[in-house]
A = this chain, B = another copy of it.
Amino acid sequence: MIIVLKPKATEKDIQRLCTRIKELGLSPHVSRGKERTVIPVIGDERKLENVALMSYPFVEKVMAVLAPFKLVSRESRPRTTVVRARGLVVGEKKIALIAGPCSVEGEAMIVRIAKAVKKAGATALRGGAFKPRTSPYSFQGLGEEGLRHLAAARQATGLAVVTEVLDTRDVELVARYADVLQVGARNMQNFELLKEVGMSRRPVLFKRGISANLKEYLQAAEYILSRGNDQVMLCERGVRSVEDYARNTFDLNAVPILKELTHLPIVTDPSQATGKYSWVEPMSLASVACGADALIIEVHDRPEAAKSDGEQSILPARFARLVRAVRRVARAVGRTA
């Protein structure tokens, strides 16, 4: 931590602050410049986190030296973590493909789509049984019945099942059916839910919040790891910005940045990040080109009748074409798919 004092700070103020810092077992290194006095603090700066240094009227600003996350950091674990759930492997040379409808709408439907995406090259099936919808009047998912349909689709195809959990009370239930627990963007700072999935033994697909910066995102992921679960995939799915042709602004810079900051593998979600079927393929290719470890893609065989997100779902045939294009780009950057 580095503390910058206001010009008006007196010698007495400086002493008062240094005493406080030493009480916490830290060493202040007072550095007096012409315009400002600056105090780098040596020792574990996390001890200062709960101290409201800015409430001293003679403190101008406080700057952190270390990142505010630890277990998720590349510094703490240099090798990329590989997440494994049944046939799904994320974090190795081969780029993984997770595909399926936004919502599970029935057993026949999910089995049919599961077969189609498997044939095209997917190793995991996505599909929501519990849906967080902006409006209370929108379709909220089939609940446990939807989970049973997902299990049937897994039975039929061998694909790993990825599905969202919304409520701390449902974590056990969802974990009984799913291979991967998804935590959605709206719940990125639902810390009670993060603690709960952190205590589960299921891998987690953890989506970035719609206006979260990467620091907050990694701090939230830290909640999961700090409870003992390090099988976490991060997922960039678009953030909110000034632009509105697309549903979100796809922050692909996050891919190389996260690779530098954390050992967790990175998934991108071009369906959510664009919101429109015709933009999914180019943005899938861009994701692969800049280093994503997996893609999660919405596929539906009757988009215009989908109960949610039809406008961003692609047909199975288009998904198959997308997979072929992904393979070409993967090879161009030294990977496979």
Listed in ascending order, the chain A residues whose CB lies under 8 Å from chain B are 2, 4, 7, 29, 31-36, 38, 40, 42-44, 46, 49-56, 63, 65-66, 68-69, 75, 132-139, 166-169, 186-187, 189-193, 210-216, 219-220, 222-223, 226, 239-246, 248-257, 260-261, 273-274, 276-279, 282-283, 285-291, 303-311, 313, 325, 328-329, 331-333
CB A52 to nearest CB in B, in angstroms, measures: 2
A49 contacts B190, C-beta separation under 8 Å = no
Other-chain contact of A2, B2, B52, B135, B193 (Cβ < 8 Å) = B2
Residues of B within 8 A of A136 (CB): 191, 219, 222-223, 226
A249 contacts B239, C-beta separation under 8 Å = yes
CB A189 to nearest CB in B, in angstroms, measures: 4
CB A44 to nearest CB in B, in angstroms, measures: 8
Residues of B within 8 A of A53 (CB): 304, 311
Whole-angstrom CA separation of A108 from B134 in the bound complex = 42
Whole-angstrom CA separation of A287 from B253 in the bound complex = 11
Closest to A36 in B: B65
Residues of B within 8 A of A36 (CB): 65-66
Identical chains in the assembly: 4
Residues of B within 8 A of A35 (CB): 65-66
For the complex of A and B, list the 7 residue pairs with the smallest distance between their C-beta atoms, beginning with the closest. Answer: A52-B310, A211-B211, A54-B311, A186-B189, A289-B289, A286-B290, A285-B289
CB A132 to nearest CB in B, in angstroms, measures: 5
Other-chain contact of A52, B220, B222, B257, B304 (Cβ < 8 Å) = B304
Give me 18 A-to-B residue pairs in the complex whose CB atoms sit less than 8 angstroms apart, sorted by A's number.
A2-B38, A33-B65, A34-B44, A40-B40, A49-B137, A50-B307, A137-B226, A211-B211, A212-B242, A213-B245, A246-B257, A255-B282, A256-B274, A282-B291, A286-B289, A329-B329, A329-B332, A331-B332
Most central of A36, A241, A255, A279 by chain B CB within 10 Å = A241
Given contacts A29-B31, A75-B7, A308-B50, contact A283 B290 (CB under 8 A): yes
A52 contacts B303, C-beta separation under 8 Å = yes
CB A243 to nearest CB in B, in angstroms, measures: 5
Known pairs A211-B240, A329-B332 / 19 extra A-B pairs, C-beta < 8 Å:
A2-B38, A4-B65, A49-B138, A50-B138, A52-B306, A52-B311, A134-B219, A166-B190, A190-B193, A213-B242, A241-B241, A241-B249, A243-B253, A243-B254, A246-B257, A253-B283, A256-B279, A256-B282, A332-B332
